[in-house]
Amino acid sequence: MTPVRYHIRHDTLYRYDQPVGESRQNLRLTPRELPGQRCVSHKVVVRPEPQRVEDFADGFGNMVRSLHFERDHDELFVRAESWIELDPRPPLVLESSPPWESVRADLAYRAGRTVSPAMLEACGYLFESTHVRVKRDFADYAAADFGPDVPLLLAVDKLMRRINKEFAFDPEATDISTPVTEVFENRRGVCQDFAHLMLSCLRSMGLSARYVSGYILTRPPPGKPRLVGADATHAWVSVYCPLTGWVDFDPTNALIPSQEHVVIGWGRDFGDVSPLRGVILGGGGHEPEIAVTMVPENEFETLYTNAEAPVANLLQVTS
């Protein structure tokens, strides 16, 4: 296997019912630099132009661009474009990971114990957060896959595949405010919900797991062209395993990410890695229009230079 390269375009458009007098927005749209993932280029276009711009890394190491608008505006458009190169990931032998109980014991707090920086970081992902719950119900559900002395990564893989099998993908079933307990009860949701559910199960078992935000390569239906703007952001989970480090699992697709997942950032849950979040003065009612396109390098020129290229969202032709 050889490295692959993708072009990603992520557009966000707010049309406000009333003028916005002042606004502060934080963008988390910069792909992370990771072993096996390189950001070859990245640029962000914003209209109107902000009066102040600041770049910094948040507490999880994700790159953030902070925008401050001080003049009236009734529309906000943000386009982030990136070229990303991914290396093939080395084979992962799930059975060679340590028993899950030993990992849980290593993560448990013991007074006076000195732990490595990696273990200390992992301990920050053991607890409840805004969208993730630690409850007996989630532990009971996960227990079917976490038998005595089962290797950690093998147990996590089984849990991922069971969630994929038993929960239905339904974009109409939830929104960002839907509690994970409701997702668990109704057995329906989207990638964000399945990530929060799997995190709840793992943390309820005393294991360290974090929420990963990014993109996944999608394929058009057979015989249909790839559409500009038809994709969306994606979410999955990453589990801490001593010696191996962090290992990704995608419950929406029941697979271990390789060369078709691009990482933007990670945190305790969606709230830590929202692509665009801020506060406004004024504006009235407003809902974002979002259009994402992730395309392999060999399709880029054909898709974007063809004047008749199919467009899934008019947002794509506003600039």
The tens digit of pLDDT for each residue in 156-167 reads: 999 999 999 999
Q: Lowest-pLDDT range, 35-39, 95-99, 137-141, 298-302?
A: 298-302
Q: How far apart are the first and last CA of the chain?
A: 37
Q: What percent of the chain is modeled with pLDDT above 70?
A: 96
Contact 319, 51 (CB under 8 A): no
Location of structure tokens 């406000």: 16
Q: How far apart are CA 56 and CA 218, in angstroms?
A: 31
Q: How would you classify the pairing of strands 188-189 and 209-216?
A: unpaired
Contact 86, 259 (CB under 8 A): yes
Q: Is the pLDDT of residue 207 over 70?
A: yes
Looking at residue 272, the DSSP 8-state letter turns out to be G
Q: How far apart are CA 273 and CA 23, in angstroms?
A: 19
Enumerate the CATH 2.60.40.2250 domain ranges in the chain, comma separated. 4-87+274-317
Q: Is the pLDDT of residue 239 over 90?
A: yes
Q: Where are the beta strands (DSSP E) in 94-143?
A: none
For 145, how many CA atoms within 13 A lie in the half-sphere containing its CB? 20
* CA-to-CA dists, residue 209 to 184, 203, 240, 245, angstroms: 18, 7, 6, 11
Enumerate the CATH 3.10.620.30 domain ranges in the chain, comma separated. 94-272
Mean pLDDT of all residues in 247-257: 96
Mean pLDDT of all residues in 273-279: 94
**Reported pTM:** 0.92
Structural element, H or E, at residue 159: helix 152-166
Q: What is the mean pLDDT of the chain?
A: 92
- Identify the CATH assignment for 4-87+274-317 out of 1.10.3210.10, 2.170.190.11, 2.40.40.20, 2.60.40.2250: 2.60.40.2250
Determine the 3-state secondary structure of 293 from DSSP: strand
The tens digit of pLDDT for each residue in 167-181 reads: 999 999 999 899 999
Structural element, H or E, at residue 181: helix 180-186
Q: How far apart are CA 43 and CA 30, in angstroms?
A: 9
Q: How far apart are CA 215 and CA 86, in angstroms?
A: 13
Beta carbons within 10 angstroms of residue 165's beta carbon: 9
**Which two structure tokens, joined as six digits, stand for 177?**
């405010």
The tens digit of pLDDT for each residue in 213-227 reads: 999 999 888 888 777
CATH architecture for the domain at 94-272: Roll (3.10)
Contact 292, 8 (CB under 8 A): yes
**Which two structure tokens, joined as six digits, stand for 217?**
């390569």
Q: What percent of the chain is modeled with pLDDT above 90?
A: 80
